[in-house]
Structures are given as structure tokens and as C-alpha cells.
Structure 1
Amino acid sequence: MKQNNDIPIRNIYYMLSYAYQTLNLSEYKQMGVENFENVKDLYAEILSIGIPAIIKGGLSKEYKTVEETSNVIKGKIDITSTIKKNAVVNKKVAIAYDELSEDILLNQIIKATLIYLSRSKKLSQEKRRLFYGFLPYFSEVSEIELDLNLWKNVRYNRQNIRYQFIVDVCRFLYEQLIFDESTDSQKMKEIQDEQSLSSLYEKFIYAFFKRETEYKVSRPQIQWNVDDEFTEALPIMQTDLVLQKDNKTLIVDAKFYTKNMVARFDGGTAKQKSSNLYQIFTYINNWKKGPDETLAGMLLYAKTTAVDQPNHNYSIKGNQIFVVSLDLQQDFSDIKKNLLEYANHFLE
């Protein structure tokens, strides 16, 4: 079956625009979306504009502890290390001090991405040379090997939030390139395609309702409704999106898969994915309802080209659960219309 990576480039651009308001800045508005044949070229163009902006603003720095032996005392003297290294013989002592450094994870990810892109045959020679030309600005940054787990350790604050869009696009582009180069089976490609756009889909859905509606929009963690206040080892219930108006609350969980429904055997009846239903049902049952609050849940799938698509309404223990599919291949004006209709159906 065709996969969700068939989403038109223009719609991916719109999703990025909602998920990251940075894309609305003047530097990016000159991009002609029609010029891109695939999503890799779109991501590469964004980086070719965004990384110079990061450089121009100055690379972010953080305090890092430096340990060395020196005849100049600064910071703290490490007596034990001084004795072990026999540094006193050379009239030096082991010291440790904090120093502002560009050699931090955010810069390391960008540098590693630049190195990878400058060597990738999936990009044009012009783009490879351009990315290679940015590397001298990262001379004080260590070289690390790119790995998707790196992004799990990224943390943002007020000082480095300007990095978020570029660092995320680095991941999107790296995923696309590495999966294209390493995929050796259709099944593995389906899994990889799913991973490469699911994060963007979640960010887009949240940002869309934040910008396009007057609902109260949030993504809170739901606390377990335990009887004895013992919650150790219970998993975190992190919502993708919660929409509220007056006394109505809609908990939305965004889902991006290559297959939205499953059959237990070939030719069998397609069913809802049980884990997804269990998840939204658990959210509803642990939500602390107000005295007059009406609560519902929604599984918002990105539609695939399979015949069977989720489009169901359930009433379970007095609460409604909506299961709907959003067609990301349609014109973006229709995407907006569908999203508003899904929410308004319950909240209005």
C-alpha cells in the first residue's frame, strides 16, 4: 500500500509553518514550495537558510567544567588528582573551573549534520558544498556521530530556544536520508516512514488549534486516579492535545501510522488498534472532571490509502470517543476545514 510519505510537499511546508512559527520569518518566505521535488530538498533548503541565521546570532554557549593541570591557580584545586598525577614535581596543580563553551549538544548535532550532509550523495553537489562551507564556524565544537537517540537528550531554555526549529529539521532530514540509504525491505521502510513524520504531525495538530481557534489549548499530564496515592513506576500520561470550551473538554491523541487499522489474518475484518483505544480510554477515566464538565476523547489519525479507515463514534461508560482520519493529501484548505469540524462537533 502507499504510505503517508505521499503527503504533498506543500502540505508538509504548511505543517512546518504551523508547528514552528519561525518558518513565517522573512528569511524563509522567499522559498518557493513548488520548486521542491521531494521533502528532502525542502528540509535541505530550510537548513541552508536557518543555519547561517544561527551562526549570525552567535553560537549558544554553556558553562562546562574544565579539568587540567596548571601553574596558574583558578577555580578549585583537586588535591587528590594533583598527587596522583605527580603534578607538584612540575610545579603544577590539578584544577577544575567552569568555562563558557560552544562545545554543547545543540552545536554538536548541527555540526554532525553538516558533516553528514556535505558527504551525502542524496543531495546536489551545490548543496553539499554549501553545507561544507558552514563547518569552519563550528571549529570549537566536537565531532560526534549522528544517532537518532541524540535528540532525546536535547533540552531547550530561553537562551537556546532559537535552535529548536533548526535542530528538529536536522532530525527530519537525517531520518529521510539515512532511511533511504539503509532500507532493504518494504516492511522496514513502512516503520521508518512512520517515525519520520509522526513528530511533525503531533506538533502541527497542537499548533493549528492554538492558532486557529479560541478554545483553551493545552497538553497537560494526567495524574493517575489511584486509591492510596501510591504512583511509583506508573507510566506518565502525557496528552498530545486538550481542547476546552466552557464546561466541555476534548482529549485528543494524534496518531501517524502506515496502517491505522489491523486484521488478525489476511482477509479478516479490520479492527481498531486496541492499544490506542486503551490509551484514550485511560486518559478519560483518570481525568479529574469538574462537577458540570462533559468529557470526550478523540483519536485523530493521519489517513492512509488503505480501504479501511477509522471513522467511528463510541459511547463507553457515559463518555464519547471519536475515531477519525485526517486526509493530509487533500488541499490544505480542506485539511483546515476538517480539523475545525472534528473539534466543533463536540465543543460547539
Structure 2
Amino acid sequence: MIPVANVYYLLCYAWDFPLSRDHARIASLPFLTRPDFFAALLIRGTEQLLKRGPDRGYTTVIEESPRPRGKLDLVATAKAHGFAKPTVVCASDDLTHDTPQNRVLKATLRTLAHCRDVNRRQADHCAALASRFADVRDIALSPVAFAAVRLSRNNRHYRFLLQVCRLLFENRLPDPRPGEVLFADFVRDDRQMARVFEAFVRNFYRREQSAFPRVGSERFGWRRVEASAADRDLLPEMRTDVSLTSPTRKLVIDAKFYRETLSSHYDTPSVHAANLYQLLAYLQNQEAKPGQSLEGLLLYPTTGRELDLNYVLHGQRVRVATVDLAAEWQAIHARMLEVIA
């Protein structure tokens, strides 16, 4: 089981968000459930947001008034009463707190207030904070609501809060009890954790090491292909999870999140064949520069058995290693640097 504090660290790297001492202190508390932990993060973040003042934006207000303001809409006025009244329809821009990001935040706080996995004190706190967004309309959370959010340099402090809101939304479950909400534990969802683990690995190496100046994901095609143009177009494009590049080394990393690190065939454990074939394909279809070594790394979270295997396959150096996500964070940090040394 991954401790709550490590979940926080993983998400901060995956979301490319700076680590916060305040949030790390919250993550170190003994939460019984992950929704309770995320509620605490949202409560603290919303309190800080309200102290500095929620974001405001312009919204267009269309009204009929005897005192025109903004842009006159003569067509709408004629349709309304044919100019028989001494009023006109006009459109004006009003500055308001009723922005997409505030609607999402308020809706998430209201959802957590009805969550069975959030303790009563924190649930009441979420409800109280939601009520402070009185001039923000109530919405039902949906992909459209998140798509409407536009962040800029002026309101980027919303980014972490909205990532938490999205994570909770994507893991919301229907509850048979009226008026209550349940959340799935996303850490038990291999697909979600695979995305989180890959992004964590990439951003960790981008921020925490200096031996490889270039860190990123690479896309490339197949080398030495004999085929018609039409047939060639149907070959799948290759994309590395993480590529670390320096003048003397290039390390291609495939980050995989599985319940079992090794596969089993007739009770005989082995490295996942598909992962190994994929990594070898990446290595064989890249070309190292003169004086630059080319290596591969399969990186898994530890699931009961730690691995550190080294091979030379078809002339390619390949390492298979694990990192224990249940360990102390300092140990995880050291292990992540060790496997690329």
C-alpha cells in the first residue's frame, strides 16, 4: 500500500507542481481514507485562495433597462416590444466571481461535503467553504465544466486545486444512498496509476538530476524498412516514456505500473516479455551519436520483490529495476537517482 504522503509526492511530480511544505505536513497526518486526505488539501488550498481573493472574470449580462449601458441590441429590443416601451435591450460585461474555475471548486467542495469517506468535521468544513462562494452558480461537475477552465499567469495558483478536483471527479462512484457520494481509490486503478507513474518518472528526472541535460518523451519511426509508402504509413509510431540524453549517454526508460513485477508461465517467473520486446524495439530503432552509449531501463514499482537485473541483449545494455513506493520518500528519491547512475 502506498502511504498517503507518497501519493502526494507522486502527484506533485506527475502534475509538475512544486512540493509544498504545508501540503507535505498535511500528507503526513494519519488519514483513514484518501478522500479525507484530498478534502484536507482542498480545504487548506481554498482557505488560502479566499485570503488572497478568488479569481474574477468578465461575463456578458443581457438586460432590458431604461438606462442603456454597454452595447445596444436594437434587433432584440424590436423583437421584445417593438420600441413601444422606453427601454432597450443591451449587453454589458460585468466583473464577477462566477468563473469556470470557481464553479468547479465550489462543486467539488459540495461533493466532498456529502462523501461518506470524509470525516464529519472536514465534510462540514467543505460545506462552509462552498457557502462562501455565494455569487458563484451551482453546477454539476462534468468534462465540459473542466474544459471551460482557462488558466493564465494571473490565476495559475488554481492549478493544483483543479487537478485535485479533476482526480476526484474521475473517481466518483454512484452511491445507492440518496444524497451521498463515494470515491474509488485511484491507487488501485492500474490504468490511472500507469499514467501517474510515467509522468512522475519523467518529471522527477527533469527536476532532480543534472547528469542528463535533455529529459523528455521521444517519438520516432522504424529504421531500415522496406515497404510501399502506403504500407509504411500503417506501421505504429514509437514513443518512449522517458528519454534521458547527455553527450556521452542516452538512456531510454519504459516506466510500467503492474500489480506483479514479474509475469509467470507454469509457475516460472520472468520479466514481462512484451515490455522487454518493446524496449528492445526502441533501442534498435534509434541511433546513438559518435561517443554516445545507448542503454535501456525497465522501471517498475516494487510489488513484494525488488529487482535489479542487468543484461546485454543483441548488443544492447538493458537494466530491469524496481522502486519501492511504500518506502520513506528519501529512500525513493535515492533509488530513483541510483537506477540511472
Q: Normalising by the residue count of structure 2, what TM-score does the alignment of the two structures yield?
A: 0.72
Q: What residue in structure 2 maps to residue 337 of structure 1?
A: 334
Task: Give the count of matched residue pairs.
Answer: 326
Partner of 2:83, secondary structure, is helix
Q: What residue in structure 1 maps to residue 45 of structure 2?
A: 50
Q: Cα–Cα, structure 1 residues 235 and 164, in superposed 2: closer, same or farther, change >3 Å?
A: farther
Counting only pairs closer than 5 Å after superposition, residues 188-337 of structure 1 correspond to structure 2 as: 193-214=189-210, 215-219=212-216, 222=219, 240-258=241-259, 272=272, 274=274, 293-305=292-304, 313=311, 315=313, 322-337=319-334
Q: For the residues of structure 1 that align with 2:321 and 2:19, how far apart are their CA atoms?
A: 29
Maintained 8 Å contact 1:301/1:310: no
Matched, 1:103 2:98: yes
Structure 1 position 134, deviation (Å): 0.4
Maintained 8 Å contact 1:262/1:271: yes
Q: Cα–Cα, structure 1 residues 51 and 200, in superposed 2: closer, same or farther, change >3 Å?
A: farther
Structure 1 position 329, deviation (Å): 1.9
Unaligned runs of 5+ in 2: 177-183
Q: For the residues of structure 2 that align with 1:291 and 1:49, how far apart are their CA atoms?
A: 52
Q: For the residues of structure 2 that align with 1:77 and 1:284, how far apart are their CA atoms?
A: 65
Q: For the residues of structure 1 that align with 2:170 and 2:25, how far apart are their CA atoms?
A: 25
Q: Cα–Cα, structure 1 residues 236 and 54, in superposed 2: closer, same or farther, change >3 Å?
A: farther
CA RMSD in angstroms, aligned pairs only: 4.4
Q: For the residues of structure 1 that align with 2:85 and 2:282, how far apart are their CA atoms?
A: 65
Matched, 1:63 2:58: yes
Matched, 1:126 2:127: no
With a CA cutoff of 8 Å and minimum separation of 6, indicate the structure with the bigger relative contact order: 1
AA partner of residue 244 (structure 1) = T
- Cα deviation per residue 1:223-245 (whole Å; 9 max; x = unaligned)? 668999xxx99999876544232
Q: Cα–Cα, structure 1 residues 107 and 297, in superposed 2: closer, same or farther, change >3 Å?
A: farther
Pick the aligned partner of 2:166 from 165, 171, 174: 171
Matched, 1:113 2:108: yes
Structure 1 position 257, deviation (Å): 3.9
Maintained 8 Å contact 1:87/1:93: no
Structure 1 position 163, deviation (Å): 1.2
Q: For the residues of structure 2 that align with 1:55 and 1:174, how far apart are their CA atoms?
A: 22
Q: For the residues of structure 1 that align with 2:286 and 2:88, how far apart are their CA atoms?
A: 59
Q: Cα–Cα, structure 1 residues 308 and 243, in superposed 2: closer, same or farther, change >3 Å?
A: closer
Q: For the residues of structure 1 that align with 2:87 and 2:67, how far apart are their CA atoms?
A: 8
Q: Cα–Cα, structure 1 residues 290 and 108, in superposed 2: closer, same or farther, change >3 Å?
A: farther
Unaligned runs of 5+ in 1: 1-5, 183-187
- Cα deviation per residue 1:69-118 (whole Å; 9 max; x = unaligned)? 44444444445444444563444444444443332332122111111111
Counting only pairs closer than 5 Å after superposition, residues 63-102 of structure 1 correspond to structure 2 as: 63-86=58-81, 88-102=83-97
Maintained 8 Å contact 1:179/1:189: no
Maintained 8 Å contact 1:179/1:192: no
Structure 1 position 61, deviation (Å): 2.6
Q: Cα–Cα, structure 1 residues 319 and 203, in superposed 2: closer, same or farther, change >3 Å?
A: same
Q: Normalising by the residue count of structure 1, what TM-score does the alignment of the two structures yield?
A: 0.71
Partner of 1:249, secondary structure, is strand
Matched, 1:145 2:133: no
Structure 1 position 47, deviation (Å): 1.9
Q: Which has the higher helix share?
A: 1
Give 1 or 2 for the bigger CA radius of gyration: 2
- Cα deviation per residue 1:298-332 (whole Å; 9 max; x = unaligned)? 44333334x7989675746x765544332212333
Q: For the residues of structure 2 that align with 1:219 and 1:38, how far apart are their CA atoms?
A: 34
Using the TM superposition, name which of 50-59 and 80-89 deviates more: 80-89
